[in-house]
Amino acid sequence: MQYHPKSDLLNQRIILVTGAGDGIGREAALTYARFGAQLILLGRTESKLAKVQHDIAQRGYRPAQIYTLDLLTASQQDCQRVAEQITQWVPHLDGVLHNAGLLSEITPMADIKLEDWNNVMQVNVNATFMLTQALLPLQLKSSSSSLVFTTSSVGREGRSGWGAYAVSKFATEGMMQVLAEEYKQSNLRVNCINPGGTRTSMRASAFPDEDSKKLKTPADIMPLYLYLMGDDSRRKNGISFDAQPGRKAGPAE
């Protein structure tokens, strides 16, 4: 995507990113901070979040807050508690990027262990839903808030071996569509991003034999991440966007 926002695109905006300690989430957090946003970094590994918080401070951006939450074990109460803590800290949320995700083993449907299936559904669907529910009141207090879910090409067209992950991303697309319709008269817009093959550790575990140099980096795909958090996307709702339009799904060629 060609998008050249002004350097103050996200000034005064408060944005929460899940899975902010690594990969695409880390890059999104740093990018949003660079464009003026105040960040709330949520993730599983405190040391990684602290490092991103430190990097944000060192670059002179607005100070970020961190919340450690393991989405694999998070209950509805845990999500509500995080939302209550955030409410003590900020008056509203102008953006939430649900980026954290679990891939699990690439294996035929017939061989998926129930535990693996449940884990993927818990992180990618249930916890994302619970956190969305808990954070909605804060988003609705904003005069223009953006809720962004992270999908995948296998969340639009099933692919052999991608089992629970693919099904969870279909569910993510469904969650986005339902919410987009429910809030279409409000100041909240709801959309999905499909990053497309991107150079991260999740991608390397899915395609260990791939030449990662042929992949876009998280930094390369940030234009769409910025567009959806800024006011230029104010009227976009219920859309599943591609960060790499035209890219053929599957291994890099």
Burial 84-115 (b: 16+ CB within 10 A, else e): eebeeebebbbbbbbbbbbbbeeeeeeebeee
Q: Which of 9, 14, 15, 23 binds ligand NDP (CB under 6 A)?
A: 23
φ, ψ at 98 (rounded to 5°): -85, 100
Residue among 57 and 249 whose Cβ is closer to ligand NDP: 249
Strand partners, 192: 149, 240
Hey, which residues between 98 and 127 contact ligand NDP (CB under 6 A)?
99-102, 123
Q: How far apart are CA 156 and CA 129, in angstroms?
A: 19
Neighbours of 201 (CB within 10 A): 10
- Give the chain's radius of gyration (CA, Å): 17
Burial, 54: exposed, middle or buried (Cβ in 10 Å; 0-12, 13-18, 19+)?
exposed
Q: How far is the CB of 12 from ligand NDP (least distance, A)?
A: 26
Strands 240-242 and 65-68: unpaired
Q: Does 239 bind ligand NDP (CB under 6 A)?
A: no
225 is catalytic: no
Q: What are the structure tokens assigned to 173, written together?
A: 């697309």
Strands 188-194 and 240-242: parallel
Residue among 142 and 229 whose Cβ is closer to ligand NDP: 229
Residue among 121 and 140 whose Cβ is closer to ligand NDP: 121
Residue among 78 and 231 whose Cβ is closer to ligand NDP: 78
Hey, which residues between 135 and 154 contact ligand NDP (CB under 6 A)?
150, 152
32, 61, 67, 165: which one is catalytic? Answer: 165
Q: Does 198 bind ligand NDP (CB under 6 A)?
A: yes
Hey, which residues between 176 and 195 contact ligand NDP (CB under 6 A)?
195
Residue among 94 and 242 whose Cβ is closer to ligand NDP: 242
- Tell me, what amino acid is at 10? L
Q: How far apart are CA 42 and CA 82, in angstroms?
A: 9
Hey, which residues between 151 and 180 contact ligand NDP (CB under 6 A)?
152
Q: How far is the CB of 39 from ligand NDP (least distance, A)?
A: 14
Q: Does 43 bind ligand NDP (CB under 6 A)?
A: yes
Which residues are catalytic, by number? 165
Binding residues for ligand NDP, per CB under 6 A? 19, 21-25, 43-45, 48, 70-72, 99-102, 123, 150, 152, 195, 197-198, 200-203
